[in-house]
Amino acid sequence: MSFKTAMEGYAKYEGLGNWAFILHRLAGLGVILFLIIHVLDTAAVYFKPSLYADAVSLYRSPVFGIGEIILVLCVIYHGLNGLRIIYFDMINPNLWTIEINRKSVIWTWIITLVLWLPAAVVMGSHIIEHLGS
């Protein structure tokens, strides 16, 4: 009906599937934001190389480091959940049952965390090392 109605539904509607969907969208927005920034800063190499150098030094700040850790989470979750949906929707629609969907959503979150945590630890330790030096 409208953007406002959609936001009310996103915020208030209950259900595991709804959460999986909202997180999928947020993760997708996170990845898109990164891609836009990445395309813009890479384009600066051609148009204004000094700006590119400034951008790279800015990316070494801890704030961007934390952003990169979140970006990895977004990429892993969006990718895994996307594969789950493609498999259910295009290959085996019989899996679209309430029980299987709930279980698969939770498993997607668990696998996402298992894949993300080691990367987060390595990237986080780099940030701490960088701060120390």
Partner 1 sequence: MLEKVTLKILRYNPEKDAQPHYERYTVEAEPTDRILDVLEKIKAYQDGTLTFRRSCAHGVCGSCAMRINGRNRLACKTLLKTLDTSKEITVEPILGLPRVKDLIVDMTTFFDNYKKVMPYFINDEPLPEDGRERLQSPEERARFDDTTKCILCGACTTACPTFWADNSYVGPSAIVNAHRFIFDSRDRAAAERLKILAGDSGVFRCRTAFNCTEACPREIKITKAIAEVKRAIITGRLD
User: Which of 2, 50, 57, 133: binder of partner 1 (CB under 8 A)?
Assistant: 2
d(CA 76, CA 83): 11
Q: Which residues contact 41 (CB under 8 A, 6 or more apart)?
A: 51, 52, 55, 56
Q: Which is nearer to partner 1, 81 or 112 (CB)?
A: 81
Residue with tokens 């997180």: 23
33 binds partner 1 (CB under 8 A): no
Q: Nearest to residue 124, comparing CAs of 58, 86, 73?
A: 73
User: Which of 8, 42, 56, 125: binder of partner 1 (CB under 8 A)?
Assistant: 8
d(CA 100, CA 50): 53
User: Which of 52, 88, 115, 119: binder of partner 1 (CB under 8 A)?
Assistant: 88
Q: Using CB under 8 A as the criterion, which residues of the chain lie in contact with partner 1 when the complex forms?
A: 1-3, 5-6, 8-10, 12-15, 17-18, 20-21, 85, 88-90, 93-94, 96-98, 101
